[in-house]
Amino acid sequence: MSACVLLNPDGTLTPLVDPVGQCTGFVLLEAGEWQLAEFMVGLTSIPPASDLLQVFSYGVTIPMVFGFIGWGVGLVFRFFRHDDE
């Protein structure tokens, strides 16, 4: 359960009765809440441009490579196919 706290000049924390959404001090979180918040931020963050470029490159290259492999295998099959006509 999160709580709103105020940092005193002597370094101690004083709990406040304000709801967390209206907190003017600091919000104190439990470990589970922090892990969940960290997970949610990770889901919504945009990856770096280098990662996006790498994924795009793989997404274009892999289908092309397998397409050429399939084309080559098809050529070999057509070469050895015997037509009895």
- One DSSP character per residue, 34-45 reads HHHHHHHHHHHS
Average pLDDT of the segment spanning 41-66? 92
Average pLDDT, the chain: 89
Q: Same domain for 38 and 51? A: no
User: 53 with 36, same domain?
Assistant: no
- Residues 83, 61: one domain? yes
Rounded Cα gap, residues 85 and 77, in angstroms: 17
What are the pLDDT digits (tens) for 55-77?
999 999 999 999 999 999 999 99
> pTM of the entire structure?
0.45
Contact of 18 with 2, CB cutoff 8 Å? no
Which range marks the domain in which residue 23 is found?
Answer: 3-44
Using 50, 70 and 90 to split pLDDT, how confident is the model at 85? low
Task: Calculate the alpha carbon distances from 76 to 37, 63, 85 in Å.
Answer: 56, 20, 20
pLDDT at 2 over 90: no
Domains held by the chain: number: 2
Banded model confidence at residue 38, pLDDT cuts 50, 70, 90? confident
Phi, then psi, of 62 in degrees rounded to 5? -60, -45
Phi-psi domain of 8 (left: phi exceeds 0; alpha: psi -120 through 50; beta: other): beta
